[in-house]
Structure 1
Amino acid sequence: MHDAVFTWVLRRLAEQGLIKGERIGVDASTMEANAALRAIVRRDGGESYREMLVRMAKESGIETPTAEDLIRLDRKRKGKTLSNAEWVSPTDPDARITKLKDGRTRLAYKPEHALDLDTGAVVAAEMHSADRGDTATLPGTLESAARHLAAVEAAPSAEAPAEMVADKGYHSREVLKTLDDGPWKTRIAEPKRDGFSRWHGDDAARRAVVNNRTRLLSGVAHIAFKLRAEVVERSFALILDRGGMRRAWLRGRENLHKRYLIHVAGYNLGLIMRLLTGSGTPRGFQARVSASLAAIATPNAGLVVILIVVAGDQTAAIAFSIARDPLG
């Protein structure tokens, strides 16, 4: 049902000409989960992190460790790692331990967007596990984007492929080989590598990498990457930061994805509002100030000028007359 609402909003955007489907930018961010990192437990035995520290403190000779002792032990112990294969949150098992964009290590999710770079419309908003890499989540996001574009009759095809623009985190031989000669014409930034590439007889991967590299050298690619950096990052800033979705208040990836789809649908509706009214939000529309000037000629060759100023829900009108010059 939530996906149907999201698709309905996309159809309204298509009616206004806000979906082109020619250049699609893909990127991902992080969202802090509604679960505390200090409450994680081991997957095998259910031992909490604090219980593990108490056990290690007693093994080191501290019979009744205090909170300061546990903090000191945790800070100095060797091999301090938190693996998702060993630890899980009992309140939100779908959340994964990862490093957020601001450098903090928390339980989180990974929202991923596919946007129409020509209009800024989000055509796919997926919610993935935070420990999955970009190359692993890209196929699911592109599949969702193709399905939603097909609903508005703008789906790419092998005969008329759409450009897919992404940063170097999405670059891999398998991804490029899979997308080559398909509905997506890749423009994925290639990371710098030292030495020569060895293909071990994989001619298909070599051809796909070379084709992608050739497309990166064109002026069209520079414009597309500039749009991707601007449009995709703006969507994350407005949806996650300004929109209050940087931290989740629901638990479970499916529940969070439903809420996120409706939130992104509201973002897309803002594009229609901006096209029709010049403002993307009701508050922005209310804050707009407009002025109108009208002039009326009088029978004695004078002039009456009316200035109308509208600011929010307040309207003011000023009228003054200009008399005919008796010497004129």
Structure 2
Amino acid sequence: MATNVIAETDTIMVVCPTGRYKGEGDPVINGEPNCENECHCKALPCLFTNGTCKDGCAIGWRGITCNERDCGVENGGCHHQCTEDKREEWCSCDEGFDISPNDSRECIDINECEGERGVDYDEDCHICVNTIGSYTCGCDDGYELDSATNQTCIALNEANKSNANEVANMVILKLGTRVKHLEEELKSTKKELKEEQYSRRTSIRITDLPENNDENVSDLVNDLFKTMNRNPVINRVHRVGPKDQNKNRSRQCQFTTYPDKYQVMLREKAIRGSHPSVLISEDLTRTRSRIAYLAREKKRQKMCGPRTAGCV
């Protein structure tokens, strides 16, 4: 195809042959179209107006004269990887592939098995079997494919060790996941217990206060506090647990304010004379109550010793 220069007032149109374009310099040099470079216009033949492709740039190119790499659209036309800062060979391939000799943007599989054993594929690969982008192996009698790589043959006893290691790693992974889950669960439980205990900060537990069928629990507790010279404001009070004929149920008493509770706790020993068996204590959650009991037992054993008679 012949090249043409068409002058239209201030516009110079250049038509370059298929595969050529004006990439750098003036669109017309010495009265001839500048068609010395590869064509990167969208359509062929390349038609330029003042050095610019009239129909835009081909995939992989951008700029006024379509001579800048562009990997942002359809990966620059590359099959695998596109690199914008490379003028030549901007397309590259993943491992196991190589650029096609027929198309610099296309990637084709490398057949490692056509190469040299120990160089292109593993020395311990008995029978090389090519796969897309890689290879695997067939193994002689007494050997087995290593499941860790799928590219080497190992003796059966070594294969058993490899499988054992694989199982061990899987168990460790599962245990790690389970431990992490338990740690998160423990953290959540601690938070819940802390919040529950905080909700009891204005409450006390009264143990072994005599119980009658027709008693008024509030009056009974208020009478107890009067023996302590205290008159706190009670929010609510109730018995704890099911009725048992063999023992008195404890009472849970919640005060309106923490100072009321604090004043009662300061005077709890004042009831020893009139109510020697009654105990006033913090209203602990079940978990904290168990911990407190174990701590008291530990202290008792430490003070008494295992062979001390009559130690209570």
**Same fold per superposition (TM over 0.5):** no
Higher helix share: 1
Classify the TM-score, shorter chain: under 0.3
TM-score by length of 2: 0.19
TM-score (norm 1): 0.18
**Higher RCO (CA < 8 A, seq sep 6+):** 1
